[in-house]
Amino acid sequence: MKYDVDLMSGDYLLNRPCGGRFGNVIESIGNTPLVELPRLSPNPSVRIWAKLEGRNPTGSVKDRVARSLIEDAESRGAIEPGQTILEPTSGNTGISLSMICRRKGYPLKVVMPDNVTEERTQLLRMYGAEIVYSEGSKGSNGAVELALEMAEADSSYYMPYQYGNQANPMAHYNGTAVEILEELDEISAFVAGLGTGGTLMGNGRRLKEHDPETLLVAAEPMQGELVSGLRSLDDGFIPPIFDIELLDRKIMVSNQDSVVWTQKLLHEEGVFSGVSGGAVACVANRIAGELDGGNVVFLIPDDGWKYLSSGIYDKPIEELTDLDSTVWW
């Protein structure tokens, strides 16, 4: 195993390059970089680390979840060869499922809000998924509602239903959290966006088993805002896999702050993040400012390639006209 010296701090950093040899693209999911972002910390005694999930094959953390959902269904005999998979999504899960379903030979139909960025529609079609659009003003909650109605009306579909399937958090319990603990002995706080709840629940349980004092913090959008594909519990839908008792904090983030921090990640640390990553970075910075020392780890769900058409990376925030009417993730 190779060690490199960080000349700025004198620390020895374990070099675990993302790479290796795999039998197929699905096997390459995971083992994403954990990168320190020193310019984001308001306290020199607190180190902020970002788990860069955009390094997965389709560019998001949902590759982990999609693989877990499909492999769990296969192991239980819940799906048959050639059976159509149906799933509500605001983009990333659908894209991940479309890659895996194409590789494994399952037709895929996704239900998605009609106001997502064009890149997500293009990627889904590129992988061969059929898209059913739900009412954009209802966000991802509307996609869930419509998909459940479709599944009830046609029993030939198999719906993994990431919002209520324990294979979702288990992808993180057995994967993401283990990777974090391989790199850091102590985690003062873990911060993630509140979407399906899988990232928070899976990582939170594993990290709290390692150290019950680890804070589990959710970045949550303002009620009614379609920030970064995250969801507000006050909007009325609580994912069945979500256990609010496991959370230590939930902090609200506005659309504007999410975009501002997405730009800060790019300009100050060179990290090309999706808007949900900016929302979580904002909360990680706030938590770091409240601690005396330690490591704050946050998860960046995807990179920015699916959001280029929005203009958020090269326009001042006052010029962004669709800030409150786009589903970002």
Q: Which of 41, 51, 60, 62 is catalytic?
A: 62
pLDDT for 323: 64
pLDDT tier, 189 (very low <50, low <70, confident <90, very high otherwise): very high
- CA 17 remoteness from chain centre: 21
DSSP 87-123: EE-SSHHHHHHHHHHHHHT--EEEEEETTB-HHHHHH
Does the active-site annotation cover 276?
yes
The catalytically annotated residue of 60, 68, 96, 276 is: 276
CATH architecture type of domain 62-153: 3-Layer(aba) Sandwich (3.40)
Per-chain mean pLDDT for the chain: 89
Portion of the chain with pLDDT greater than 90, in percent? 72
In the prediction, which pLDDT does 223 show? 61
The per-residue pLDDT for 57 is 96
Can you list the pairs that 118-125 forms with residues at least 24 positions away whose Cβ atoms lie under 8 Å?
Answer: 118/309, 119/305, 119/306, 119/307, 119/308, 119/309, 120/91, 120/92, 120/94, 120/95, 120/306, 123/58, 123/95, 123/98, 123/306, 124/91, 124/94, 124/95, 124/98
The model's pTM is 0.88
pLDDT given for residue 234 in this prediction: 52
Q: Mean per-residue pLDDT for 219-242?
A: 64
- The average pLDDT across 190-205 equals 95
The arithmetic mean of pLDDT across residues 14-34, rounded, is 83
Topology annotation, domain 3-60+168-319: Rossmann fold (3.40.50)
What pLDDT is recorded for position 237?
A: 66
Active site residue 306: no
| Cβ–Cβ under 8 Å, residues 238 and 207 | no
Span(s) in the chain for CATH 3.40.50.1100? 3-60+168-319, 62-153
Instruction: Give the per-residue pLDDT at 7.
Output: 43
Specify the pLDDT at position 5: 47
pLDDT in tens, 104-137: 999 999 999 998 888 989 999 999 999 999 998 8
